[in-house]
Structure 1
Amino acid sequence: MESTDNESLLSRSAMSQGQGKGQPNKPRAGSSSSGERQLSRSGSLIKPIPGSPIGDDDDLESGPIEPDVGCCDPRKWWFRWMMLVFISFLGFGSYFVYDIPAALESDIEHAMNVNVAQYSLLYALYSWPNVILCFFGGFLIDRVLGVAWGSILFAGFVLLGQAVVAIGAQSNLFWLMLAGRFIFGIGGESLAVAQNNYVVRWFKGKELNMVFGIQLSFSRVGSTVNLNIMKPVFDSFSNITPAYSQLGAAMWFAALFCGLSLSCAVILLFLERRTDRVIKRDVGGSDEKVNLKDVKDFPLSLWLLFIICVGYYVGVFPFIGLALVFFESKYSVDSATSHALTSIVYIISAAASPVFGLLVDRTGRNLTWVIAATAVTVGCHVMMAFTFINPYVPIIIMGFAYSVLACALWPIVSLVVPEHQLGTAYGFMQSVQNLGLAVVAQGAGILVNSNGYLWLEIFFSICVALSVLASILLWLVDDASGGKLNASAKTRKREAAEKERAALIAAAPPSPSSSPSMGNRMRPRTPVELRNRFLTRLGIEKPVNLRSLPLAQPSLLR
């Protein structure tokens, strides 16, 4: 009886093997199930028997077939760059709307019948709240909402705020316009924090510096487009009267760009969910949860980054805001030339930031680039303060230095804090930057009125020099702790590969051959084990009484 069963079982095995070498079995329509699997070695589709250890064998090379995800596959190389397009347009509307008061200053003052001090509140009510709000926005992204839902929320605030501004203009209610700018400010800076989180999430360890440069370019393009088209747009509504209704129509036009940003936030949510579903990314995130108390535990290197950020940006943005009269008074240029000079920094940064970002990606050495950019900017302010060299020279150099610093500085945060604290860290960085800009903008105006532009340039030189000192101190602190922040690109690539290899080894299941319960770990398989392993791969159930049966009866071998 045993011999008959054995021959029958071997016949079934041979038939299965013949099917594998010949015409492959084709499953009937509707007969496929989750238990089916394609064996790459035989090319045949076999339905394993329940309980069969198929797929558990450590030597089986063929894994489960990935599902067909269509044209939008997050595992493709181009998917990250498609994400970058939507990430860049995510903040386009916010940057476009932010500088509307600058583009329509005289028109706003005339249409709403306000003076310069009242007009300045349109910027003040944006900046001051963000000293606190964008920090809590980063905390909400890390702890409560996540980057995708956080982006939708803050893009919604941007659109709502601009809509309230438009309603206030159409209703001739300046206080309502101010309320709209306040609402807009709640979302604007926090949306920038979400953008930074998205960039680090998709490009950390790859083209991070270049992508930060591209993001900076889009922000400057948004501001530049606004400054160039909003005045013609306002004039195109000249048939609408009175003047405040004309202003309201222009504000509704600007709200369309905020709607574009909100649409990008929704698309990014869809793409994030698709990525989680296809590549089985951990949607729960890290087990570590961010806490507001984490701020006091931020490392010294992060606090030095905050000082660099504040010291540098207060020497650039307030300077550009006050440079019109400075160029006209010191260099005796006309208004058109003065406007051209002040716009050079933004124009250069829009074009040069991606190039410098790629250069930083290829070379690494972020701190070296930061030190060079801050030192060069100090030299530009010193030239404008104490020499009469053509103003195009220092302002063009400042534009390139500003591009380098933005590409090299902001990615360093992702090297200092863990990923679950990125939103909080970037939010705090935005907060201290807004605090510095708000204080210095008001203080610079007082300084000009009392002491003139020479002392203003000396003040800006001191601010940027402070960022140089903080950069050098950060380089010393980093060098004492291993030089991670100023490592070369080759070193970072090697360390990332070693870290990934260690993670794969830690996550891999232990091999059966490494189990201490086995006697001789290098013992060859017996003929019986080879036969059983072959039948197991074919998905054929082995009766218990045959699992140790020899290949042939001893009587047949005599």
Structure 2
Amino acid sequence: MAKERWFILFYCCIIAFSVDFFYDEPSALVARLTGTSVYCVNGTDTSCLELDMVQYNAFFSGISWASGVAALVAGLCIDHYGPVTPLWFSIALIFAGALLFAGGSYASSTTVAFGLMLAGRVIHGIGGGTVVTVCHQMKAAWFHYDELALSFGLHILCARLGSAAAYAIIGTAVTTLGLSGSLWIGFGVTLLACIAIVGLINRDHRIHDSGIPSSMSGAGHSFRRLNGLFWCLVIVAFLLYGVVSTFTANGVALITDIYGRSESVSSLIVDLIYDICLITPFLAIFMDKFGHRDWWITASSLFLIIGLGLFLAPRCPPWVIPVFFGLSYAIFPTTLYSSLPLVVPQRSLGIANGVLTFVQYASTGILTLGAGAILDMLPSDDNRRWLRFTIFLAGIAVLAILLAFIINCLNAKTGRRLTPSQKVRRQAVDIEEVTPINIDFVTEPHGSVVRETTEIRKSETSMPASWRSFPSRQEVRVTSDF
């Protein structure tokens, strides 16, 4: 069973690659979807559409909202019924959504095509949000503290590779295949996710052994177990994901308009964000080894501000934002998701992952629509609209930095759960000697209360009690709000 977790992670990585490939597919086709490409103007590509920027950004906001709501519902379902039913549900939806998105481009008018393709994005988003939440919960259940960030880092790396592949493959193929032909590439990649989900379902009996409960307490009880530090992580996730996702959705158009690069070259420049994310597993190893996840969150926020600040400077090269955004994007998703098992009780991990995934997608849905409205305020040939766009993202990044400092303060006041390194964790919890005892309450520093403790591990170390209080498979904990 020790090697089983790596097979689970392998399937989850394939799913992540496929879901993110489909998500970012329109970004590489923005010129064809809006009818501004030279191939659309000269009539070479007869499948071009004429969407405005609000409609184009609706492709991202629609799938993001659908994925977010689905993730929230999936989190509750996992806590109550286990993962298998949501997995079957997601197969049908991502297949149907990808098929409708690709086939909708053949409609006779832009209006009809937009409606069909948007419906396909929403349907795919429901399935994608569901399966991603299941994968996050399974990784949290299978991987221990020493490998927690690494498992999330590998998962997120494959997701970024999916996004990078979408820019590279679609951006190159569109010259030959045109808009409609290129969309079928995304459908083919979606089939890989369907096969991977079937692989997870075929391990049904092992999935139940992974620690994902088949029944849990009520949803309200699960929500009450989510403390103040968790909700701060959720808010900072909203801000960080929103900034990066909004830029990647509009980055190709920005570079094409500001720097006069072709759509293929612009796609490759924006693709740097995902190329840099290749370092994510190495950063995850350092994160697991040295701890201090609160500092990693602060660093990722600073990278966003640096990138946007340099972009506003005169004669800034087009790769500046992608490089700094890539560094940030390589850090914060792994940090946030691997922090959940450290601050949330085991029985609430399903709903916690659902909430965080919901916020991740909801931020994209809200901010991409806002960005589309800002860009449509001025004519498409007026580059001042991109200045407003950049200032909009910079304001959100500033809020993320302020919230990151609040997380540092809360972490210090609530037992430094995000701080310990592997060495400290191993000293604090001796996994070789376990003495079962039953107690009603254990009061820890700063007012946090441990309830329903079924096992306490013996340790000869003098480490602070709060560093021995991470939620684990042997302990179910309720912590105070702050």
TMscore range, shorter length: 0.7 to 0.9
**What is residue 317 of structure 1 aligned with on the other side?**
245
How far the C-alpha of 1:326 sits from its partner, in A, is 4.2
**What is residue 220 of structure 1 aligned with on the other side?**
160
**What is residue 357 of structure 2 aligned with on the other side?**
430
Can you list the C-alpha shifts for 1:145-204, whole angstroms capped at 9, x where unaligned? x12432332133111222333454456562333322221111112222112112112213
Cα distance between partner residues in 2 of 1:222 and 1:347: 10
In the alignment, residue 18 of structure 2 is paired with which amino acid?
A: G
How far the C-alpha of 1:223 sits from its partner, in A, is 2.0
In the alignment, residue 486 of structure 1 is paired with which amino acid?
A: T
**What is residue 100 of structure 2 aligned with on the other side?**
164
Residues 183-202 of structure 1: pairs in structure 2 closer than 5 A:
183-202=123-142
How far the C-alpha of 1:217 sits from its partner, in A, is 1.4
Cα distance between partner residues in 2 of 1:368 and 1:142: 31
**What is residue 476 of structure 1 aligned with on the other side?**
409
**What is residue 198 of structure 2 aligned with on the other side?**
266
How far the C-alpha of 1:423 sits from its partner, in A, is 2.1
Partners of 2:79 and 2:216 within 8 A in 1:
no
**What is residue 89 of structure 1 aligned with on the other side?**
14
What secondary structure is seen at the aligned counterpart in 2 of 1:91? helix
Instruction: From the superposition, tell whether residues 443 and 371 of structure 1 become closer, same or farther in structure 2 (CA, over 3 Å).
Output: same
Cα distance between partner residues in 2 of 1:334 and 1:100: 17
**What is residue 129 of structure 1 aligned with on the other side?**
66
Can you list the C-alpha shifts for 1:186-227, whole angstroms capped at 9, x where unaligned? 111222211211211221323111221211111121122233
**What is residue 70 of structure 1 aligned with on the other side?**
none
**What is residue 143 of structure 1 aligned with on the other side?**
80
What secondary structure is seen at the aligned counterpart in 2 of 1:485? coil
**What is residue 291 of structure 1 aligned with on the other side?**
219
Instruction: From the superposition, tell whether residues 411 and 290 of structure 1 become closer, same or farther in structure 2 (CA, over 3 Å).
Output: farther
Instruction: From the superposition, tell whether residues 490 and 305 of structure 1 become closer, same or farther in structure 2 (CA, over 3 Å).
Output: same
Partners of 2:342 and 2:418 within 8 A in 1:
yes
Instruction: From the superposition, tell whether residues 100 and 452 of structure 1 become closer, same or farther in structure 2 (CA, over 3 Å).
Output: closer
Partners of 1:382 and 1:458 within 8 A in 2:
no
**What is residue 111 of structure 1 aligned with on the other side?**
47
Larger-gyration structure (1/2): 1
Can you list the C-alpha shifts for 1:225-279, whole angstroms capped at 9, x where unaligned? 23333466667768xxxxxxx93x6555533332321222222233351476xxx
Cα distance between partner residues in 2 of 1:347 and 1:439: 26
Can you list the C-alpha shifts for 1:56-101, whole angstroms capped at 9, x where unaligned? xxxxxxxxxxxxxxxxxx23xx432232211211233222222333
Can you list the C-alpha shifts for 1:111-147, whole angstroms capped at 9, x where unaligned? 2755335554433432233443321122122223x12
What secondary structure is seen at the aligned counterpart in 2 of 1:497? coil
> How many residues are matched?
418
Alignment root-mean-square deviation, CA: 3.2
Cα distance between partner residues in 2 of 1:203 and 1:326: 40
Cα distance between partner residues in 2 of 1:501 and 1:142: 30
**What is residue 367 of structure 1 aligned with on the other side?**
294
Cα distance between partner residues in 1 of 2:68 and 2:270: 26
How far the C-alpha of 1:403 sits from its partner, in A, is 0.6
Query: Runs of 5+ in structure 2 lacking a partner?
Result: 36-45, 379-383, 439-453, 456-482
Residues 397-416 of structure 1: pairs in structure 2 closer than 5 A:
397-416=324-343
Partners of 1:444 and 1:456 within 8 A in 2:
yes
Q: Does residue 176 of structure 2 align to residue 255 of structure 1?
A: no
Instruction: From the superposition, tell whether residues 483 and 113 of structure 1 become closer, same or farther in structure 2 (CA, over 3 Å).
Output: closer
Q: Does residue 395 of structure 2 align to residue 462 of structure 1?
A: yes
In the alignment, residue 138 of structure 1 is paired with which amino acid?
A: G
Instruction: From the superposition, tell whether residues 88 and 130 of structure 1 become closer, same or farther in structure 2 (CA, over 3 Å).
Output: closer
Partners of 1:286 and 1:420 within 8 A in 2:
no
Partners of 2:149 and 2:335 within 8 A in 1:
yes
Can you list the C-alpha shifts for 1:332-354, whole angstroms capped at 9, x where unaligned? 766665443322111111x1111
Query: Runs of 5+ in structure 1 lacking a partner?
Result: 1-73, 239-245, 509-558
Cα distance between partner residues in 2 of 1:388 and 1:183: 43
Partners of 1:378 and 1:461 within 8 A in 2:
yes
Cα distance between partner residues in 2 of 1:471 and 1:267: 38
Cα distance between partner residues in 1 of 2:416 and 2:49: 57
Instruction: From the superposition, tell whether residues 107 and 376 of structure 1 become closer, same or farther in structure 2 (CA, over 3 Å).
Output: closer
Cα distance between partner residues in 1 of 2:388 and 2:177: 43
Instruction: From the superposition, tell whether residues 159 and 375 of structure 1 become closer, same or farther in structure 2 (CA, over 3 Å).
Output: same
What secondary structure is seen at the aligned counterpart in 2 of 1:396? helix
**What is residue 523 of structure 1 aligned with on the other side?**
none
